[in-house]
């Protein structure tokens, strides 16, 4: 049976963005519109809302619908925020929702790190492809205004990023090693991999750089 062609309204309604690693996805990126960002690429995709999966926007789709690549990326990014929202919460708050009170007290007495109050997760309300928010310069600036200082960003996965307002200079190397270790041994799927880099947001320049 011939696959039904989606309508223009359906196309635009399902458009969001994902942030993926540039080097590891060069083959895919050669066939889909994207925008290079640090060691990453912002890519427009078609979200399947029932299955929480997506398919890349192909060049043939761009031609068939007579679309402009830059405008599609811009629209997909805005639609991502409109559809999935923004969530910026401390890791402490997230743990409090996940761990029962009794278990939380046990963890606190032993291995639970209370400094997670100073560790934040940036994602969306579905915790799905939320790392795209790293591309939002205005949002990063707002977070900088909240901290009133530079801060560090761990690209945890395609679904979220982790933000630390405080890292000692001598800890940077250790954190880089930790990022690589987690990506190699803990990450559930290769599809979730985002980057082995550690980023720093510089509040005075409103810019982000790889350390």
Q: Is-contact 210 39, C-beta < 8 A?
A: yes
pLDDT mean over 54-80: 91
Lowest mean pLDDT of 48-57, 58-67, 120-129, name the range: 58-67
pLDDT digits (tens, 9 = 90+) for 149-203: 999 999 999 999 999 887 776 788 899 999 999 999 988 888 999 999 999 999 9
- What is the layout of strands, in order, in the sheet containing 207-210? 87-90, 120-123, 160-164, 151-157, 199-202, 207-210
Across the chain, where does the E strand assignment appear?
Answer: 15-21, 35-37, 40-48, 53-56, 87-90, 120-123, 151-157, 160-164, 199-202, 207-210
Asked if the model's pLDDT at residue 83 lies above 70, the reply is yes
φ and ψ at 163, to 5 degrees? Answer: -120, 130
Asked if the model's pLDDT at residue 113 lies above 60, the reply is no
Report the share of the chain in percent with pLDDT over 70: 86
Q: Determine if the pTM surpasses 0.95.
A: no
Tokens for 45, please give them.
């995709």
Block residue for tokens 């600036």? 141
Question: What separation in angstroms does the CA of 173 have from each of 170, 177, 195?
Answer: 7, 6, 15
Block residue for tokens 């690429």? 41
- Can you tell me whether residue 62 is helix, strand or coil? helix
Asked if the model's pLDDT at residue 125 lies above 70, the reply is yes
pLDDT band at 58 (very low <50, low <70, confident <90, very high): confident
Tokens for 33, please give them.
């519109």
- Can you tell me whether residue 103 is helix, strand or coil? helix
pLDDT digits (tens, 9 = 90+) for 10-45: 888 999 999 999 999 999 999 999 999 999 999 999
Tokens for 86, please give them.
């923004």
pLDDT digits (tens, 9 = 90+) for 87-104: 999 877 765 555 555 544
């Amino acid at each position: 049976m011939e696959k039904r062609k989606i309508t223009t309204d359906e196309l635009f309604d399902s458009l969001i963005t994902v942030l993926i690693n540039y080097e590891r996805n060069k083959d895919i990126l050669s066939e889909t519109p994207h925008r290079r960002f640090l060691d990453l690429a912002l890519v427009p995709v078609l979200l399947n809302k029932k299955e929480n999966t997506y398919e890349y926007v192909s060049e043939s789709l761009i031609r068939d619908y007579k679309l402009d690549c830059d405008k599609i990326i811009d629209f997909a990014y805005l639609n991502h925020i409109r559809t999935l929202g923004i969530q910026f919460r401390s890791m402490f708050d997230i743990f409090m929702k996940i761990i029962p009170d009794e278990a939380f007290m046990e963890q606190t007495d032993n291995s639970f790190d209370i400094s997670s109050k100073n560790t934040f997760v940036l994602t969306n309300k579905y915790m799905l492809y939320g790392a795209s928010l790293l591309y939002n310069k205005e949002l990063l600036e707002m977070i900088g205004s909240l901290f009133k200082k530079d801060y560090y960003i761990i690209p945890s996965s395609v679904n979220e990023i982790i933000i630390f307002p405080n890292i000692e200079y001598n800890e940077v190397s250790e954190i880089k090693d930790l990022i690589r270790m987690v990506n190699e041994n803990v990450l559930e799927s290769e599809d979730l991999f985002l980057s082995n880099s550690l980023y720093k947001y510089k509040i005075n320049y409103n810019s982000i750089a790889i350390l």
